[in-house]
């Protein structure tokens, strides 16, 4: 029923058709919201929606970085493990600085700085291996995925790294409080999304990403510095993972080897649901935001209903993801 929408829209004038079809992810989102409203009266409450958006913000911010990487024809599988290791190091840095800086915002700010820096460094490493080492992005980031994951397990001695109790209380509001009732994670997510959309659409860097992703050779002949642009996408990805972790750490104040497991797949799924092509060449930051919110809502709706057995959660998720992409298939073929 939902899949028929693009077909009926195929008849009218061209401009109108494209409009409706780029709206594929939005349509899926709207259907999901309707489903949520019919299943549970508490779904469309301010509290529930801010809950879902706030906890989607980590994946969302990471996925915006992934949109650039994928648009430029690359791939980064290491983001989930990178998030875990950044969270671990941030916690260790903050705990270690308490004796010299005391309990307070200076410790938290130092931790945040360490997190962003480490993200950037990890991005430089991935990017250099791919662009200067000439190794496939898939292999490099598969390797760093394993390296980062073991590192956090090693740092935590197989257990869990926990932030000092009092510092956690200072840091806690970053996740739980907000401005005018809007939690900070949502605000940061929105700012990153708007900035990302502008960079992708309005800057040379954004256009170069798309050019490289659609045809690397042509981009090279057009005197685009392919290696540097690619390197930049991985650095941006790393820094954004750092930003996401800044918001993640205050939530539970801990990191372990289970932190960020499968985040890379969720981020990539969000990007693709949003209409960015996996083979590169075309990226939509706003689409990624919609894609990530769709993924967040699926989990939320499953927890708010009792019609679908919890044993079938995975199947329901799969169906929605395929449906959301199917809505866009119509766009390309019809």
Partner 1 sequence: MKLTKSILAAAVIAGSLGGAAVAQDKVTIGVSVPAATHGWTGGVNYFAQQAIDRLSTTYPNVDFVFASAPDSPKQIADIEDMVATRNIDALVILPGDPDAMTSAIKQVKDGGKFVTVVDRQLSINGVENLYVAGDNPGLGANAAAYFKEVLPEGGNIVILRGLPIPIDQQRFDGFMGGIEGTKLNVLAHEFANWNRDDGFKVMQDFLTRFPDIKGVWTQDDDISLGAIEAIRQAGRENDMFVVGGAGMQQILQRVAAGDKLTPVDVSYSPAMIATAIELTTAHLVSNVQVSGRYILDSTLITKDNAARFLDADSPF
Of 209 and 267, nearer to partner 1 (C-beta) is 267
Q: Shortest approach of partner 1 to residue 141 CB, angstroms?
A: 18
**Where on the phi/psi map is residue 261: left (φ > 0), alpha (ψ -120 to 50), or beta?**
beta
Fill in the per-residue mask, 254 to 293: x = in contact with partner 1 (CB under 8 A), - = not in contact.
Answer: x-xxxx-x--------------------------------
Residue whose CB is less far from partner 1, 10 or 299: 299
Shortest spacing between CB 3 and partner 1, in angstroms: 29
- Alpha carbon distance 61, 83 (integer Å): 12
Calpha distance 302→77 (Å, rounded): 27
Which helix (H) or strand (E) covers residue 147, if one does? helix 137-155
Decide whether 19 or 177 has the Cβ nearer to partner 1. 177
> Which of 40-48, 70-78, 104-112, 223-231 is the region at the interface with partner 1 (rule: CB under 8 A)?
40-48
Q: What is the DSSP letter of 312?
A: G
- Closer by beta carbon to partner 1, 162 or else 215: 162
Show contacts with partner 1 in window 307-326 (CB under 8 A).
310-311, 313
Tokens read off for 109? 């700010």
Q: Does 22 bind partner 1 (CB under 8 A)?
A: no
162 contacts partner 1 (rule: CB under 8 A): yes
Q: For residue 45, state whether it binds partner 1 (rule: CB under 8 A).
A: yes
**Given candidates 17, 33, 35, 51, which one binds partner 1 under the rule CB under 8 A?**
51
Q: Is 156 exposed, middle or buried (0-12, 13-18, 19+ CB in 10 A)?
A: buried
Strands in the chain per DSSP E: 160-162, 178-179, 182-183, 254-256
Instruction: Report CA-CA distances (Å) from 293 to 47, 50, 204.
Output: 15, 11, 28
Task: Tell me, by CB under 8 A, how many residues bind partner 1.
Answer: 33
Smallest separation, CB 186 to partner 1 (Å): 14
| 255 φ/ψ angles, rounded to the nearest 5 degrees | -140, 140
Which span sits near partner 1 by CB under 8 A: 65-73, 122-130, 252-260, 323-331? 252-260
Class of residue 254 by CB neighbours under 10 A (exposed 0-12, middle 13-18, buried 19+): middle
Task: Verify binding: residue 166, partner 1, rule CB under 8 A.
Answer: no
Q: Which is nearer to partner 1, 220 or 251 (CB)?
A: 251
Closest CA to 84 of 20, 18, 150: 150
Site of interaction with partner 1 (CB under 8 A): 40, 42-43, 45, 47-48, 51, 55, 153, 156-160, 162, 176, 251-252, 254, 256-259, 261, 299-300, 302-304, 306, 310-311, 313
């Amino acid at each position: 029923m939902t899949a028929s929408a693009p077909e009926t829209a195929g008849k009218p004038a061209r401009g109108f058709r494209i409009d409706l079809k780029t709206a594929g992810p939005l349509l899926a989102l709207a259907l999901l919201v309707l489903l949520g409203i019919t299943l549970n009266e508490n779904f469309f409450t301010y509290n529930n929606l801010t809950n879902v958006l706030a906890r989607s913000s980590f994946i969302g911010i990471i996925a915006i970085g992934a949109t650039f990487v994928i648009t430029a024809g690359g791939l980064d599988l290491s983001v989930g493990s990178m998030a875990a290791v950044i969270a671990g190091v941030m916690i260790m840095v903050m705990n270690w600085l308490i004796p010299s800086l005391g309990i307070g915002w200076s410790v938290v700010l130092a931790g945040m700085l360490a997190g962003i820096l480490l993200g950037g460094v990890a991005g430089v490493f991935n990017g250099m291996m791919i662009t200067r080492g000439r190794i496939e992005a898939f292999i490099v980031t598969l390797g760093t995925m394993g390296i980062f994951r073991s590192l956090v397990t090693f740092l935590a001695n197989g257990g869990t790294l926990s932030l000092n109790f009092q510092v956690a209380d200072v840091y806690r509001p970053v996740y739980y409080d907000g401005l005018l009732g809007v939690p900070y994670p949502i605000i940061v997510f929105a700012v990153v999304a708007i900035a990302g959309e502008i960079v992708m659409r309005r800057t040379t860097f954004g256009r170069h990403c798309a050019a490289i992703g659609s045809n690397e050779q042509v981009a090279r002949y057009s005197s685009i510095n392919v290696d540097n642009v690619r390197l930049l996408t991985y650095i941006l990805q790393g820094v954004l993972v750092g930003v996401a972790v800044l918001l993640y750490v205050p939530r539970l104040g801990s990191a372990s080897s289970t932190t960020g497991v499968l985040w890379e797949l969720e981020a990539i799924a969000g990007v693709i649901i949003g209409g960015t092509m996996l083979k590169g060449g075309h990226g939509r930051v706003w689409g990624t935001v919609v894609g990530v919110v769709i993924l967040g809502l699926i989990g939320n709706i499953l927890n708010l209903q009792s019609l679908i057995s919890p044993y079938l959660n995975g199947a329901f998720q799969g169906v929605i993801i395929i449906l959301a992409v199917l809505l866009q298939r119509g766009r390309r073929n019809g």
